[in-house]
Amino acid sequence: MRLKLRIWRQAGPTAAGRLEDHVADNVSPDMSFLEMLDVVNEGLVRKGQDAIAFDSDCREGICGMCSLVVDGVPHGPDRGTTVCQLHMRRFKDGDTITVEPWRAKAFPIIKDLTVDRSAFDRIIAAGGYVSVNCGGAPDGNAIPIAKDVVEHAMDSAACIGCGACVAACKNASAHLFMSAKISHLAILPQGQVERHRRVVAMIRQADADGFGSCSNEGECEAVCPKEIPISNIARMTREYVKAALTTGG
């Protein structure tokens, strides 16, 4: 396939950005989207030009590093799929594809398609630790937990922290991300000690980092590569109200 690409180029955080035209030749339908960009970059480097900066790590859909908006959709057109797992067979010969970075005030652009997502790290850090009894490693079955509770918690724990939910939201809200993390711990016995403190601290940190509020658009759920349900946001709101009433703040 031969594809026309319109790729966001921006030399640095304060530089002006623009969409730059590139051509990707000899693209195999079996290539991943990132492998296609690797080939474009090899061509640029051979010509002595600056390679297009983009994030990736595992390329297996588990680390949350890849972060491209493809034709206006974070992670591209395939539902429940990270952009590193998006394959070029999804496109047709001659297509024009626009590639942009996550866009949100809390995720400033570092260069080209890479953004700084350390605001998510600060939210996780604000959530803090879980208290456990010290001593020897506890028996795996010492705390019985119902199967449906475990599965619910693990479904929430599937969030890979990619930030697509923020990029898709017109408010740049981090609610789906936070609600996944909060739900994961709020419904397990191990997460109870800090339950109230955690939800208040994480939401305060998200506000401080400039994430917006939630107005139930549902765009976050639609683009989430791990299909985290928006119902988690309702649980987070209930957790927050309970915590505010309990702690007075």
Residues that bind ligand FES (CB under 6 A): 56-59, 61-66, 82, 84, 160
Q: Shortest Cβ distance from residue 227 to ligand FES (Å)? A: 14
Closest contact distance (angstroms) between CB of 104 and ligand SF4 is 12
Q: Does 161 bind ligand SF4 (CB under 6 A)?
A: yes
Question: Which among ligand FES, ligand SF4, none contacts residue 172 (Cβ within 5 to 8 A by kind)?
Answer: none
Q: Between residues 24 and 168, which has the closer beta carbon with respect to ligand SF4?
A: 168
The full 3-state SS of the chain, as one line of letters, equals CCEEEEEEEECCCCCCEEEEEEEECCCCCCCEHHHHHHHHHHHHHHCCCCCCCCCCCCCCCCCCCCCEEECCEECCCCCCCCHHHCEHHHCCCCCEEEEEECCECCECEEECCEECCHHHHHHHHHHCCCCCCCCCCCCCCCCCCCHHHHHHHHHHHCCCCCCHHHHHCCCCECHHHHHHHHHHHHCCHHHCCCHHHHHHHHHHHHHHCCCECCCCCCHHHHHCCCCCCCHHHHHHHHHHHHHHHHHCC
Q: Is 34 in the site for ligand SF4 (CB under 6 A)?
A: no
Among 40, 83, 115, 164, binds ligand SF4 (CB under 6 A): 164
Of 65-73, 88-96, 106-114, 153-161, the window that binds ligand SF4 (rule: CB under 6 A) is: 153-161
Task: Considering the complex, state which of residue 160 and residue 206 has its C-beta at the smaller distance from ligand SF4.
Answer: 160
Residues that bind ligand SF4 (CB under 6 A): 159-165, 176-177, 180, 224-226, 228
